[in-house]
Chain A
Amino acid sequence: MSNCYVDPKYLSVPYQLLSMNIRAMEVTQVLLNAQSIDGAVRKNAEESLKQFQEQNLPAFLLSLSGELANEEKPVETRKLAGLILKNALDAKEQHRKYELVQRWLSLDANAKSQIKACVLKTLSSAVADARSTASQVIAKVAGIELPQKQWPELIGSLLSNIHQLRAHAKQATLETLGYLCEEVSPDIIDQDQVNKILTAVVQGMSASEGNTDVRLAATRALYNALGFAQANFSNDMERDYIMRVVCEATLSPEVRIRQAAFECLVSISSTYYEKLAPYIQDIFSITAKAVREDEEPVSLQAIEFWSSICDEEIDILEDYGGEFTGDSDIPCFYFIKQALPALVPMLLETLLKQEEDQDQDEGAWNIAMAGGTCLGLVARTVGDDIVPLVVPFIEENITKPDWRQREAATYAFGSILEGPSPEKLIPLVNVALNFMLSALTKDPNSHVKDTTAWTVGRIFEFLHGSAVDSPIITQANCQQIVTVLLQSMKDTPNVAEKACGALYFLAQGYEDVGPSSPLTPFFQEIVQSLLTVTHREDAGESRLRTAAYETLNEVVRCSTDETAPLVLQLVPVIMMELHNTLEGQKLSSDEREKQSELQGLLCGCLQVIIQKLGSSEPTKYVFMQYADQIMGLFLRVFACRSSTVHEEAMLAIGALAYATGPDFAKYMPDFYRYLEMGLQNFEEYQVCAVTVGVVGDISRALEEKIVPYCDGIMTQLLKNLSSNQLHRSVKPPIFSCFGDIALAVGEYFEKYLMWAMSALQRAAELSTHTAGDDELTEYTNSLRNGILEAYSGIFQGFKNSPKTQLLIPYAPHILQFLDGIYMEKDMDDVVMKTAIGVLGDLADTLGSHAGSLIQQSRSSKDFLNECLSSEDHMIKESAEWAKLAISRAISV
């Protein structure tokens, strides 16, 4: 048994070591039992582990770490001990994770020291699994302690004698460093230690390292450590060194090392894009060789490098095109444009390496797929330039007898349809479309048909619609297109799914076509064909059924008044389908899952139909005859347990409430409990978020008739706000919802005013300042918007009521909030519009009571003036309203 890493000071607690040893004997057996094939034994063992943990956590963790460190114990108990230890330190759920961190931090210091000593010691174990588990535990502990400035000696002790270690211990130490970099954020570790880590890692990667396992561990560690290397990548010499070592590793004889090295290159391409210029030529050679010659896991990474460069350049060029011209920190180096003449042929070659039946395999990912995807990204990056490079390939291969060539040519064509200008593409498409339509019906190969249908869909997606000047679909070919697509919907599921997709984009292109759509003559036939597809025996394959419903939805969304009677006819049909799913009894769990999926699709479809028919008075009027029955079906759907279905049904009910207006009150007694259930669904926060939105719909529909339900709703909403288990994205809409309710019930809101205002005030204080990344700023702005919408709703709701004076005490704080966010200068346009509107609402409702307060506020001057001269129509409109309201408030 090796004890080379145990600091003597940890041995100075003999009693605990002793107790640990005693426990350890028992623990081994329990851990073995916990992996027994006998369920009863296993359950028993799990129970005693749980008891042990609850009775004495420090002793429990100590004995686990002892087990892990003990070379005499069986490998499976050591592994399990490490795993339980790791799980005692981290969890996926945010609040659980927080609890575990607090629990560890409050643990007895001695116990923690001993545990850490044990796991560190395990790094030099002869047993690979034990070492690997220990690495992960160390990283978890580091993830908790380093940000607290605890365990400062860890990195030093890992690195101090790395050169003296035997290969297996060195490998484990490098692996630990890798995990550590994954757990800890770069700003926690000072540059001095970063330098040491990188030195050790890059040395471990270099060709001079004779041990393959060490070199692999080092290469994988670098992948995680790259985020720490900001300073080192700014230093030419250090960067050259790192890049050289990484490039050398891509040539290693060991395939796993080559793969890991390419992964590093992919990561570098996004993290250090702006530093790549000196190396890009060499990287091209390396990647081209790998794409052509290496094993697939490696060549896939090599292609991914170029896809990732495309991602970067697309982002940068988008910024260039956006409002922030010249504001982008990173300039575009046009690597793709420069590499184009060599890159495109390389990618085209990959297209010919298809696998048979890849279209039937959901999880398939191969070099042809990666190459085509990359080609698509290249087209988006360079635009027109790609077209002349690809067209000869298409022309040469599209009519060849070998299906691989025809498919590759079609795929190449489909891939470049997004990016180049319509002027460049439309002449090609005008020639190709006919050919494609014919291939779709006549090509003997299913793979070719699949890609052809997909390409036709892409043609419609990017080159058909009101934004394109010269239409590719005319009266002459519209009939043929529809006929071919409907025909293809009877093909194999994967081809039929693509045909549905093409129909989807065909319909979408006519979205704003005006009162008369070219699809009107085919509407009935299209709908009928889609419904037939949903009933196919094999509609479960290749997500065909889903695609058919999605297409049906789009066809309905984009339909015009001409076909409104046909959409109306669809209502009882879909209702009957939904009804049928509710009749089936005694299903297996597999069948039940399929049933839920179908119910979700049907609720989604009804939602789209309701929204469509509800948006115009004449159709709404006729549609309302179905409202009772539809609502009845939705209520039955809620009795089934599936979150997706609930979400869909909830969205549909929101649309129904909007269409129904005050009459929706009659459904409330039955619906209310599901509304409450939705609001309580923290786990599936999407359901909760959607339900909050529906509360808004219902408030607007019912107005004061919502009063009887307000107590329950407001209580739940306030509870949700104070919960830290609820996903934060649901909170801003809850505030907006306060506004909806207040506007609906007017001064009835008095009952909740104090609670709502104090929740709003707390949130307002938190959201005045933003600190952090773009994502946090975005969230803060959405929170501000929610808060402001609540204030608006409350002010407008109380307007002209004798209870207006109840709001006066809140005015100073609200004005302060407006001033505060104005001073921060990081509002987005939406917040700006809402904020200036609140100023107007405050003035409008409080009038002269707030006159002097308003005059003292900054918002009423600088902010208002800024908004008045805004170019954004909505901001200006709100500002004009505010100006009017203020002038009245201060003139009285």
Chain B
Amino acid sequence: MAPHDLRRPFKRAAISDQQKRRELSLLRQEQNRRDAQQQARCLASSILSLQSPVPESEPEQSDIELETAPEIEKESGTLSKDLDVPRASKLRGPEVRKWFARQLMLPEWMIDVPDRLSQDWYVYARPAGKRCFVVSSNGTTVSRQRNGSILHHFPSALPAGAKTRDSSGSGQSYCILDCIFHELDQTYYVIDMVCWNGYSLYDCTSEFRFFWLNSKIEESGACNPPSCYHKFRFSTVPVYTCDQNGLYAAYTGVVPYVKDGLLFYNKHAHYQTGNTPLVLVWKDENCSQYVIDTDSKGEIPSQQQVVLELQDNGKLVTSDDPPVLFGYLDGDIIQKSGLHSGNLLRFAVSDGGLSFVDGKLDKADLNYLGKANRGRAFADSYSKVVFQFTVRHSPLKIDDLLASINSPDDQEKKPCDVEMVG
């Protein structure tokens, strides 16, 4: 029996770096696994706790129009009822996606200038990027794009947005923000606020929501630079009253993001999910890279293209509720091409164009091209078709908008008028 070795570690760190790497890897894997689990559960619980305040009456069709911005809605096909097996495997919660897709308030395109712009409307320059819902709850934050797919899953300084050491936020606390994620500076621009710290803002006017948004976001620390418990910076956008100065500022003002058109918000509108005429989008070449629709190759087709839904009797309609009738498809084509009700079809607007009577669509000269891209879930909306049409022929210019607003002098005179009458 030999004497026993009694050497102890001498001037050495007790743990090897390799061991440390191994442990850190395990830690990361554990965290990722927990996140994956959490995510699966979180969806369910946010559905459970958030669904009640939301009107469920919206038909699916209310989630509409593909924007011209380069968003790829590759997953929207999952909403159809015919699931092939590979897709089904991916569908971990179709209701979840549908639900998310339905929650955003979607602007109509501005095809004519609303009255009382300067009194009843806000305007701001819309950041280019991915429109998404940012939900913070249970110590984590998830951003979901319009099609319901997850953009990021991250810790944030939003209430209940991270597992911080002093996680005082109760399990009930959560936030839902309407954001645009701007790739270049990796920032979430908050364009609207739906819930804050468990408090629902659905039924509040946009005036109130913007006020609340500007004060709360700043105060939460979410606008701070990224850190360990706050992975992405949030930022607000400058919102202006839509008088001449405001509109001009939104249109020409320097902002830290790439602009994609202007958004107009009616001050009195509640946060209404789906398409609404109380929020409008307008754009021209000066404030957006994406004015005229491009095709799948990113090129502008020589003729405007529209996607319409085929209904019974060959009716061709938009995705609006109620749908707007654009015409009828020839029975022969339907038979030859094996089309049936519900198909989304692509048309080119031919030389006849669109003609209007009393501001309503009268006639459309359409040329059938074929079925729409499988990725499409919905037909175009009426306002989009018309906006795209006018952009090509007689666009609504910024000068038109400015002109429609009373001059600043006029606005100042108004209150005076009232007094003088007295």
Contacts and interface: CB of A to CB of B under 8 A. Distances in A.
A881 interface: yes
B225 A515 contact: yes
B17 interface: yes
A301, A654, A841, A881 interface centre (most CB from chain B within 10 Å): A881
A300 B6 contact: yes
Interface stretch (B85-93, B337-345, B347-355, B387-395): B85-93
A793 B37 contact: yes
Interface string B83-108: 00010111111110000000000000
Contacts of A799: 40, 44, 92-93
Contacts of A704: 86, 89-90
Interface stretch (A189-197, A317-325, A611-619): A611-619
B182 to A, nearest CB: 12
Given A693-B25, A740-B36, A877-B171, A617 B152 contact: yes
A515 B227 contact: yes
A365 B32 CA distance: 44
Interface stretch (A18-26, A346-354, A574-582, A743-751): A743-751
A204 B226 CA distance: 73
B239 to A, nearest CB: 27
A342 B152 CA distance: 63
Nearest to A651: B25
B268 interface: no
A829 to B, nearest CB: 14
B232 A297 contact: no
Interface in A597-655: 600, 604, 607-608, 611, 616-618, 644, 647-648, 651, 654-655
B165 to A, nearest CB: 10
B28 A658 contact: yes
A539 to B, nearest CB: 16
Interface residues of A, number: 87
Interface string A826-841: 0000000000010011
A746 to B, nearest CB: 4
Contact of B228 (A512, A696, A837, A880): A512
Contacts of A793: 37
B21 interface: yes
Interface string A284-320: 0000000000000100110010010000000000000
Interface stretch (A258-266, A392-400, A753-761): A258-266
Given A301-B6, A512-B228, A789-B33, A690 B22 contact: yes
B357 interface: no
Interface string B1-21: 101101111110100011001
Contacts of B228: 512
Interface string A254-285: 00000110010010000000000000000000
Given A454-B11, A697-B32, A800-B94, A607 B21 contact: yes
Contact of B44 (A223, A370, A844): A844
B18 A604 contact: yes
Interface string B39-59: 011001100100000000000
B186 interface: yes
B245 interface: no
Given A259-B3, A888-B48, A837 B186 contact: no
Nearest to A461: B13
A451, A686, A796, A841 interface centre (most CB from chain B within 10 Å): A796
B204 interface: no
B138 A747 contact: no
B171 A880 contact: yes
Contact of B29 (A373, A693, A748): A693
Given A740-B33, A800-B94, A888-B48, A611 B186 contact: no
Contact of A700 (B7, B33, B88, B231): B33
Contacts of B32: 658, 696-697, 700
A561, A686, A877 interface centre (most CB from chain B within 10 Å): A877
A370 B24 CA distance: 32
A617 B94 CA distance: 28
Contact of A844 (B41, B94, B139): B41
B41 A604 contact: no
Contact of B92 (A655, A792, A800): A800
Given A553-B17, A743-B40, A263 B93 contact: no
Given A220-B1, A651-B25, A703-B90, A304 B6 contact: yes
A884 B48 contact: yes
Contacts of A454: 11
B21 A553 contact: yes
A290 to B, nearest CB: 14
Given A616-B231, A618-B186, A797-B92, A263 B4 contact: yes
B3 A260 contact: yes
Contact of B3 (A297, A739, A797, A873): A297
Nearest to B40: A796
A768 B86 CA distance: 37
B25, B152, B231 interface centre (most CB from chain A within 10 Å): B25
B373 interface: no
A419 interface: no
A493 interface: no
B119 interface: no
A748 B89 CA distance: 6
A761 to B, nearest CB: 21
Contacts of B3: 259-260, 263, 297
B26 interface: yes
B92 A746 contact: yes
Given A550-B17, A743-B40, A369 B94 contact: no
B227 A373 contact: no
Nearest to B228: A512
B267 to A, nearest CB: 35
A611 B91 contact: no
Interface string B223-244: 0011110011000000000000
Contacts of B41: 796, 837, 840-841, 844, 881
A79 interface: no
Contacts of B91: 746, 800-801
A745 B10 CA distance: 50
Contacts of A800: 91-95
Interface in A831-890: 837, 840-841, 844, 873, 877, 880-881, 884-885, 888
A501, A504, A704 interface centre (most CB from chain B within 10 Å): A704
Contacts of B94: 800
Contacts of B33: 696, 700, 736, 739-740, 789
30 contacts: A223-B4, A266-B6, A300-B6, A373-B10, A501-B13, A550-B17, A554-B17, A604-B17, A617-B186, A617-B231, A648-B21, A655-B28, A686-B22, A696-B33, A697-B32, A700-B32, A704-B90, A740-B33, A745-B89, A746-B90, A746-B92, A789-B33, A796-B41, A799-B92, A801-B88, A801-B89, A841-B41, A873-B167, A884-B48, A888-B48
Interface of B: 1, 3-4, 6-11, 13, 17-18, 21-22, 24-26, 28-29, 32-33, 36-37, 40-41, 44-45, 48, 86, 88-95, 138-139, 152, 163, 167, 171, 186, 225-228, 231-232
Interface of A: 175, 178-179, 220, 223-224, 259-260, 263, 266, 297, 300-301, 304, 307, 365, 369-370, 372-373, 450-451, 454, 498, 501, 504, 512, 514-515, 546, 549-550, 553-554, 561, 600, 604, 607-608, 611, 616-618, 644, 647-648, 651, 654-655, 658, 686, 690, 693, 696-697, 700, 703-704, 707, 736, 739-740, 743, 745-748, 789, 792-793, 796-797, 799-802, 837, 840-841, 844, 873, 877, 880-881, 884-885, 888
By Cβ-Cβ distance, the 9 closest A-B pairs, closest first, are A550-B17, A796-B40, A746-B89, A220-B1, A365-B7, A748-B89, A304-B6, A454-B11, A800-B93
Given A263-B4, A266-B6, 8 more contacts: A301-B6, A604-B21, A617-B186, A651-B25, A693-B26, A799-B44, A877-B171, A888-B48
